[in-house]
Chains A and B, each alone.
Chain A
Amino acid sequence: MPQIAQLAETFSSQIFWLLVFFGIVFFVIGRGMVPKVMGTVAQRDSQIGSDLAAAEAARAQADEEEEAWRKRENENRAAAQALVAKAKADAAASSEKKLAAAQKRLDKKLADAEAAVTAARTSALAEVEGVAAEAAQDIVQRLAGVSITAASAKKAVKEAMNHG
């Protein structure tokens, strides 16, 4: 076993060169290079972290803007609806007014016409009575030879007409 057989003659060189090379590894690589590598990793981590934070903030802002836009949109829609409702109401009111005026005019015309008809009927009836009375007077004179007064003829006609 050379590890033991050569121990006495080689231990000093083994230890010496190990300390030299492990020292180089520790001071140059371990102390010099490794912190830089780890620094790069840390830098990348922080970069990723800040990027994520920025993205998060951007998303929050986008949400906020969308919310504001939605609010504005709702307001606009409400205003538009109010406008439409008002226009509708105005139109309804004016048409109602016009309708009412037309109705009034029609009613008046109807009433006039009715009055005229009534008047015409009354005068016609009066004429019919007069004619009937004269006719009755004539008929009575011819048949009975009795002359009756116009007044009594009229009275008789009226009675007859009233009884139907």
Chain B
Amino acid sequence: MAAEPAKVDPMYQFTIEPLFGSANWEIAGFNIAFTNSAMWMLITTVVLGIFVWGGMKRELVPGRWQMAVETFTGFVENMLEANIGKAGRKYVPYVFSLFMFILFANILGLLPLGIVGLHPFTFTSHFTITGVLAAISFSIVLIVGFWKHGFHFFSLFVPHGTPLPMIPAIFLIELVSFAVRPFSLALRLFVAMMAGHVLLEVLSSFVIDGTNAGAHFGLLVGLPSFLLMIGICALEILVAGIQAYVFALLTSLYINDAENLH
């Protein structure tokens, strides 16, 4: 048994598979197969919808559920108001959607549904997804920036009080740092989610292979790995929340740049 190669492939969990024989669905020559990734987006959307719908009872004295939903909307509202000011309120729908969509996706992807035969797919661990979300956020920043300030928006790249000879160099540096933003936004979430899931998968392979290798290995490798997994799982729940928060927070900070310049 011990001689057999490991059967656990830590990267397999990120594989995208078409479901329901939809592999050949196409629009204008592009494949739009309904994959497990899309399936989990649907689940996330439905769960999030149910969650928010439960908070719409509009009672004067809120119940627990309504209180929970109002806590989230209030949290996003406060964040936008703290970062952007009064003008930030109009971005609440977008940032709330972004934050909750990522948060629910991250947490649903962590659920131990594997034990009932359903394999969660964390679509936020794909940079195609995080990239599109970052691109949407960045587009909003650009559109708002140029809409509100026109070409004056470029003054964002020249910090106030820059000496005249430094302006070309500073402009270039600031432009690059600005242009890098969507990539850092997308990669941060993708890397954090993927790393956590890979780590859990690797540790679980230690548990499985160690136990299969005999009682000694099971005690020596499997048990510590299992204990470590429990800790990492807690950490991953934290990361799921933090990454969603960071994504929403950075988006609101970037929108603040566009809304208020410096």
Please report A residues at the B interface, Cβ cutoff 8 Å. 1-3, 6-7, 9-22, 24-26, 28-31, 33-41, 43-44, 47
CA distance A122 to B86 in the complex (A): 123
B131: nearest residue on chain A (CB-CB)? A15
The answer to whether residues A33 and B53 also contact, given A1-B14, A9-B31, A18-B132 and a CB cut-off of 8 A, is: yes
Q: A37-B70, A41-B73 provided; 20 other pairs, C-beta below 8 A?
A: A9-B31, A10-B16, A10-B31, A10-B33, A12-B30, A13-B25, A14-B38, A14-B132, A15-B132, A18-B41, A22-B97, A22-B132, A22-B136, A26-B97, A34-B52, A35-B92, A36-B56, A37-B55, A37-B73, A41-B74
The minimal Cβ–Cβ distance linking B204 to chain A, given in whole angstroms, is: 18
CB nearest neighbor in B for A33:
B52
Cα distance, A47 to B15, chains bound together (Å): 52
Which residues on A sit within 8 Å (CB–CB) of B70? Answer: 37, 40-41
CA distance A7 to B126 in the complex (A): 10
> With A29-B49, A40-B58 given, is the CB distance from A6 to B93 under 8 Å?
no
A22 to chain B, nearest CB (A): 6
Q: Which residue of B lies closest to A48 (CB)?
A: B60
Give the interface SS of chain A, mostly helix, strand, loop or mixed: helix
Number of A-B contacts (CB under 8 A): 140
B48 part of interface (Cβ distance < 8 Å): yes
Q: How many residues of B contact A (CB 8 A)?
A: 54
Which residue of A17, A18, A44 contacts B34 across the interface (Cβ within 8 Å)? Answer: A17
User: Can you name 19 A-B pairs with beta carbons within 8 Å?
Assistant: A2-B11, A3-B125, A7-B128, A13-B35, A13-B37, A14-B35, A14-B38, A17-B38, A18-B129, A20-B41, A21-B44, A29-B48, A33-B55, A34-B52, A34-B73, A36-B58, A38-B77, A40-B70, A44-B60
Q: 1/0 per position for B13-37, CB-CB distance to A under 8 A?
A: 0111010000001010011111101
B42 within 8 A of partner (CB): yes
Shortest Cβ-Cβ A-B pairs, 4 listed = A30-B93, A17-B38, A30-B97, A12-B30
